[in-house]
Amino acid sequence: MHVLIINGSPRIKKFSNTDKILGKFTKGLCENGTTFEQYEVSDKEQWDKMREAYYNNDNVLIALPLYVECIPGLLLEFLETLKPKNDGTKIAFILQSGFAEGIQLRCGEAYLEILARKLGCEYMGTLVKGDNFSIRFFEGEQQDRITEPYTEMGREYSKQGNFRSEDCKKFTGPEVFPAYVRFIVGLMQKTVAKKMFAKVAQNWGCTKAIDYKPYS
């Protein structure tokens, strides 16, 4: 199988969490001889080639971050330039987000099924998982700890050609956190997380408070 992979993140490849996820995913994907080509929506110079590849491939995988409950505006802009295929092309998606609970991604996932239909492609399912916000803030082993599970999902996709298996569904993790986890995480957000954000901000050269109001 040969797969066209589109990284639908508007963030440049170097800092793209979706790209790091795809790095691990494709490692698993290629183990059994599956090949792929990857393009970046964030680089408009690739759009013509990407469009051509879309028409020439019958296995398409779009990986994307959730942007305001649906797909990012830039990815939408690219997709608007495509004509429906209606030739048996199969399309699958990897939907990832910062928010951790599965429920946060369901509205986006629902759209992807509609999108497959609008593009005249057969919907092969969506691999849904959140809690990926911090990928860009880590390197090496720490980053691998977050992204490595996607390798197994790459193997799974190369075997099944879809994301419909129980393992893929389980990959999402909890739909919502149980009350005691919410209590603990909520407390952490008020304390250690605030300190961590302040530290990242400082490293980025931020001189204002995180909750600064520039326009009030």
Partner 1 sequence: MILIVNTTSDNAITGELKRCIDEKTLEAEIVECASLKISHCIGCNYCWLKTPGECSIKDDYEIILKKIIHADQLWVISDTALGFIDHKGKNIFDRILPIATMYLKFKGDQMRHVPRYDQRTDIGIIYSGEVERDYMDRWTERAALNFESRSLGVFSKEQIKEAVSCMC
Residues that bind partner 1 (CB under 8 A): 9-12, 15, 42, 65, 67-74, 76-77, 79-80, 99-101, 103-104, 107, 110-111, 114-115, 117-119, 136, 176-177, 182, 185-186, 189-190, 193-194, 197, 200-201, 204-206, 208-216
Query: Which residue number, 33 or 178, has a Cβ lying nearer to partner 1?
Result: 178
N-term to C-term CA, the chain? 55
CB nearer partner 1, residue 126 or residue 158: 126
Q: Tell me how far, at minimum, the Cβ of 134 lies from partner 1, in Å.
A: 11
Nearer to partner 1, 48 or 69 (CB): 69
Q: Which is nearer to partner 1, 12 or 31 (CB)?
A: 12
**How far apart are CB 105 and partner 1 at their closest, in Å?**
11
Q: How far is CA 106 from CA 10, 24, 66, 103, in A?
A: 21, 23, 10, 5
Q: What's the rounded Cα separation, in Å, for the pair 167 and 171?
A: 6
CB closer to partner 1 out of 136 and 164: 136
Q: Are 126 and 112 in contact (CB under 8 A)?
A: yes
Tell the smallest beta-carbon distance from residue 7 to partner 1 (Å).
12
What are the tokens at 31? 């183990």
Q: Cβ of residue 64: shortest distance to partner 1, in angstroms?
A: 11
| Cα–Cα dist 34/157, whole Å | 10
Query: Minimal distance in Å, beta carbon 115 to partner 1?
Result: 6
Question: How many Cβ atoms from other residues are within 10 Å of residue 210's Cβ?
Answer: 10
Q: In 3D, which of 17, 64, 66 has the Cα closest to residue 41?
A: 64
* 128 phi and psi angles, rounded to 5 deg: -110, 125
**Smallest gap, in angstroms, from Cβ of residue 159 to partner 1?**
30
Cβ closer to partner 1: 110 or 167?
110
- Return the bridge partners of 96, or none: 65, 129
Pairing of strands 2-7, 122-129: unpaired
